[in-house]
Amino acid sequence: MPAEFLDNVTPVVDEHALLRYLGYPAGKAPHGRVAEVLGRQRQLLAGLVEPRAVYMNCSGQECFAFDFPLYDHDVVLCVVTIGSALEAKASEYAARGDVVSAFVLDTLGSVQAEGTAEAAYQQLAAVARRDGLQLGCRISPGYGTWSLSYQRAIFDLLPVERIGVHLTPGLMMVPRKSVSFAAERSPEPIRLREGDQCAYCLMLDCRYRRE
C-alpha cells in the first residue's frame, strides 16, 4: 500500500524516562537550578516541537528482503520526528555557554521524540485492530538482531522528505530527534503488557532487554 501520514500525533511522554535520562534515580526529583530550568524549558516545548509521522504497511514477503526479525506476517514501517527547532534552540544555549539549559532541553527533546514514536505506534495499533490484526512490539534498526544498515531500506520506501527527515551517509537521522521503527501486523494473538514492550518482544537476545 502507498505511504500515509498520521495527523494529530501527540507525544506520549514518559516522565520516569525523563528523570532517568536527566540522571535522577527512582524516587528522586530535580531541585534547585535543574528544577528551575526544567520548568522553564517545558514551557517552551509547544513552540519547539512539531510531531510528524509517515508510515507504510508491507507484506511479509516484501519485508523478508531487509531481514526484518519477525517477517512471518505483514509489517508496518514508520518514521517520526519532532522537527529541528528544539535541536537548534539547544545548540543556541550551548553556544552561549548555558550547558544546563542545553542538556535539559536536549533531554526533553529525546523524550518527546520517543513519545511521538509511541503515539504513532498506538495509532497504528488502532488501525491494525480495525483490520482485524494485532500490532507486535516496535523495534528500530540497530536494535537487537536488526542491523542499522536497514535504516536505508526504510528511508528508500517512505517519503520521509515530506516530514523533513533525511539520512546522513553514516545512517544517522536528521533532525536527530527522529525515530524509525517497524512492527509486525499479525492475525494471531500477541501477548501484550501495557508499558513494557520487552514483555512481548520475541528478540530474547536484545542487549536492551529489560526482563
| pLDDT digit string, tens, across residues 20-30 | 999 999 889 99
Q: Is residue 196 predicted with pLDDT exceeding 80?
A: no
Mean pLDDT of 165-190: 91
Task: Report pTM.
Answer: 0.86
pLDDT tens readout for residues 67-88: 565 556 788 999 999 999 999 9
Amino acid identity, position 102 = A
Residue 201 has pLDDT above 60, yes or no: no
CB atoms within 10 A of CB 158: 20
Query: Is the confidence at residue 193, as pLDDT, over 50?
Result: no
Q: Are 113 and 140 in contact (CB under 8 A)?
A: no
Return the closest-CA partner of residue 86 out of 41, 35, 36. Answer: 41
> How confident is the model over 180-206, as a mean pLDDT?
64
What burial class does residue 44 get, using C-beta atoms within 10 Å of its C-beta: 0-12 exposed, 13-18 middle, 19+ buried?
middle
> Tell me, what amino acid is at 91?
S
Q: What is the pLDDT of residue 27?
A: 87
The C-alpha cell 522553564 sits at 40
What whole-number distance in Å separates Cα of residue 175 and Cα of residue 165? 6
Q: Could you tell me the domains of the chain?
A: 4-199 (3.40.109.40)
What's residue 186's pLDDT?
85
Sign of the alpha-carbon dihedral angle for 25, 27, 30, 31 = negative
Which pLDDT belongs to residue 35?
96
Residue tagged 514477503 (cell numbers): 61
**Across 99-105, average pLDDT:** 97
pLDDT reported for residue 200: 45
Is the pLDDT at 207 greater than 80, yes or no?
Answer: no
